[in-house]
């Protein structure tokens, strides 16, 4: 391919990147309790760290037990000081497996979702 | 949607197998060293490909390549055949991480160096179906299989001209697949094994693709194909892939080649302009 074509393509892309604020899909970076982890006791909260800043109004998380009953406090929040962290309070959890369902929208409006489990062993 | 998401699953753009999703993405460049051909030729390509959504479910692709061909006793360089495609996102099943797309590709005759490089002197119409399936819906009793995913494609090449230089242009069946093991999926949906950057974004992959002549078959025309093991690193704004190219049939060639690709996610890099479907540019 002629060098001029490559240069024009690279220049166009570079110009586009320079004038546009980039955003991206928010993906789960890590969580507490950790994905797939086993805890000796019930944690007071669940926190998920994402790769991008979140839109608080469109970011949700729920925690359910094996029967599908919610065990969270329905107070999911993204704090202004930590725009990449989605947090929710938890009821006291008896030993068992719990499923976390999250669905978030990053600040550039891309939606993503996911599920993971953690276990409270009670010992 | 765009980008290769189906529910919890992210499908990266694969280097050999056609992707099962419409997207706003650009591969620039894809650099390929092909294995030695059966006639002793060596080919080196630098490709550029653009995928662009027209509406959220309808998109087009366009791509071309600069080629350097070395044959015993000579060689040539120049532009290859121009490829375009129209794609429609047939379905996305989030709970089962399944995704499907139909496409109509066209390789345009006389758009490359026909005599020197062997580019096509005829147009080829290529309808096809591309699919993807993640295995995140497997039971928790087999947790380490859940990061697995498969993408694949099935299609045909219909040449618009029956013969070129006295040889028949065969109608071909094309089929291929990519088997992926997503470490990002393992980390975010199965169990956090403590991988940190850059390893938490690696997706080992094995791809294969074959083309078998099924009609108007000339002397010596037979199935060709390659197997390509490699790895893809998928970041927030771009991905980098590298694969070995291993000929899968004698007619394909011998030795080992390689391919590396820089693939940019335009919907993440330019979310308010070029990265949006054209139908939404005025909004």
Q: Enumerate the β-bridge partners of residue B257.
A: B245
Q: Are B5 and B60 in contact (CB under 8 A)?
A: no
What integer pLDDT is reported at residue A108 of this predicted model? 79
Whether residue A21 is predicted with pLDDT greater than 50 in this model: the reply is no
- Residues, chain A: 123
Predicted pLDDT of residue A16 = 47
Q: Which residues of A touch B191 (CB under 8 A)?
A: 35-37
Question: What pLDDT is recorded for position A22?
Answer: 52
Q: Which CATH class is domain A24-120?
A: mainly beta
Assess whether the previous peptide bond of B198 is cis (omega < 30° from 0): yes
pTM for the model stands at 0.90
A71: closest CA among A61, A59, A57, A58? Answer: A61
- pLDDT for res A24: 82
- Using an 8 Å CB-CB cutoff, list residues of chain B that contact chain A: 3, 5, 7-8, 10, 26, 28, 46, 48, 64-66, 79, 94, 140, 143, 184, 187-192, 236-237, 264-265, 267-274
Average pLDDT, chain A: 86
Which value does ipTM take for this structure?
0.84
Q: Is B232 left (phi over 0), alpha (psi -120 to 50) or beta?
A: beta
User: What is the structure's pLDDT at A7?
Assistant: 54
What pLDDT shows up at residue A15? Answer: 44
> Min CA distance, A23 vs chain B (Å)?
5
CB atoms B3 and A110 under 8 Å: yes
In this structure, the number of other CB atoms found within 10 A of the CB of residue A110 comes to 22
For B54, the token pair is 């027209």
Contact assignment for A23 to B143 by CB distance below 8 Å: no
Higher pLDDT, A11 or B141: B141
At A58 the pLDDT is 93
Q: What is the DSSP string of B33-83?
A: EPPBPTTS-EEEEEEEEEEEESSSSEEEEEEEEEEEEEETTEEEEEE--EE
Residues of A in contact with B265 (CB under 8 A): 24
pLDDT tens for each residue of chain B, 283 residues long: 457 899 999 999 999 999 999 999 999 999 999 999 998 999 999 999 999 999 999 999 999 999 999 988 888 999 999 999 999 999 999 999 999 999 999 999 999 887 777 778 999 999 999 999 999 999 989 999 999 999 999 999 999 999 988 889 999 999 999 999 999 999 999 999 999 999 999 999 999 999 999 999 988 899 999 999 999 999 989 999 999 999 999 999 999 999 999 999 998 898 888 889 999 988 7
Closest CA relative to residue A25, chosen from B134, B271, B60: B271
What pLDDT band is residue A3 in, cutting at 50, 70 and 90? low
3-class SS letters over A64-108 = ECCCCCECECCCCEECCCCCCEEEEEECCCCCEEEEEEEEEEECC
Q: Which of B11, B29, B188 to mutate to test the interface with A (most CBs of A within 10 A)?
A: B188
Domain ranges of chain A: 24-120
Chain B residues touching A23 at Cβ < 8 A: 268, 271
Burial of A68 (C-beta count, 10 Å sphere; 0-12/13-18/19+): exposed
Peptide bond into A33 cis (omega under 30): yes
Q: Pick the residue with more confidence: A33 or A5?
A: A33
For B183-214, b where at least 16 C-beta lie within 10 A, e where not — what string?
bbbbbbbbbbeeeeeeebbbbebebbbbbbbe
Q: Which pLDDT score is estimated for B115?
A: 75
Mean pLDDT of A38-48: 96
Angle at the Cα of B50 from the Cα atoms of B47 and B56, rounded to 5 degrees: 160
Instruction: Report pLDDT for A17.
Output: 47
Q: Cα separations (Å) of B97 from A7, B93, B150?
A: 39, 6, 10
Mutate to test the interface with B, among A17, A27, A55 (most CBs of B within 10 A): A27
């Amino acid at each position: 391919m002629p060098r001029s074509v490559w240069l024009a393509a690279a220049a166009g892309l570079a110009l586009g990147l320079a004038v546009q604020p980039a955003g991206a899909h928010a993906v789960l970076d890590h969580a507490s309790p950790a994905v797939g982890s086993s805890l000796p006791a019930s944690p007071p909260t669940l926190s998920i760290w994402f790769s991008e800043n979140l839109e608080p109004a469109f970011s949700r998380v729920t925690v359910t037990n094996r029967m599908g009953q919610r065990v969270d406090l329905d107070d999911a929040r993204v704090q202004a000081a930590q725009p990449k962290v989605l947090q929710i309070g938890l009821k006291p959890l008896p030993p068992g497996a719990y499923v976390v369902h999250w669905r978030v929208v990053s600040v550039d409006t891309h939606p993503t979702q996911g599920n993971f489990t953690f276990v409270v062993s009670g010992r | 949607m765009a980008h290769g998401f189906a529910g919890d699953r992210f499908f990266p753009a694969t280097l050999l197998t056609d992707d099962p999703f419409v997207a706003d993405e650009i591969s620039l460049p894809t650099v390929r060293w092909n294995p030695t051909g059966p006639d002793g030729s060596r080919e080196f390509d630098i490709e550029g490909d653009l995928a662009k959504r027209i509406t959220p479910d309808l998109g087009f692709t366009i791509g071309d390549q600069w080629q350097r061909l070395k044959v015993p006793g000579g060689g040539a360089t120049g532009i290859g055949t121009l490829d375009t495609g129209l794609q429609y996102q047939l379905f996305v099943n989030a709970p089962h991480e399944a995704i499907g797309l139909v496409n109509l590709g066209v390789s345009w005759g006389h758009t490359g160096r026909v005599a020197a490089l062997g580019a096509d002197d005829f147009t080829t119409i290529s309808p096809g179906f591309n699919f993807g399936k993640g295995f995140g819906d497997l039971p928790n009793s087999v947790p380490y299989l859940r990061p697995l995913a498969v993408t694949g494609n099935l299609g045909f090449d219909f040449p618009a001209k029956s013969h070129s230089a006295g040889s028949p242009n065969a109608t071909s069946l094309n089929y291929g697949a990519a088997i992926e093991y997503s470490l990002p999926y393992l980390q975010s949906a199965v169990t956090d094994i403590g991988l940190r950057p850059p390893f938490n974004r690696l997706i080992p992959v094995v791809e294969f693709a074959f083309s078998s002549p099924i009609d108007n078959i000339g002397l010596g025309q037979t199935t060709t194909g390659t197997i390509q093991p490699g790895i893809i690193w998928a970041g927030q704004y771009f991905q980098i892939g590298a694969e070995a190219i291993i000929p899968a049939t004698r007619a394909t060639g011998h030795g080992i080649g390689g391919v590396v690709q820089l693939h940019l996610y335009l919907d993440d890099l330019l979310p308010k302009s070029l990265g949006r479907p054209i139908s939404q540019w005025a909004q």
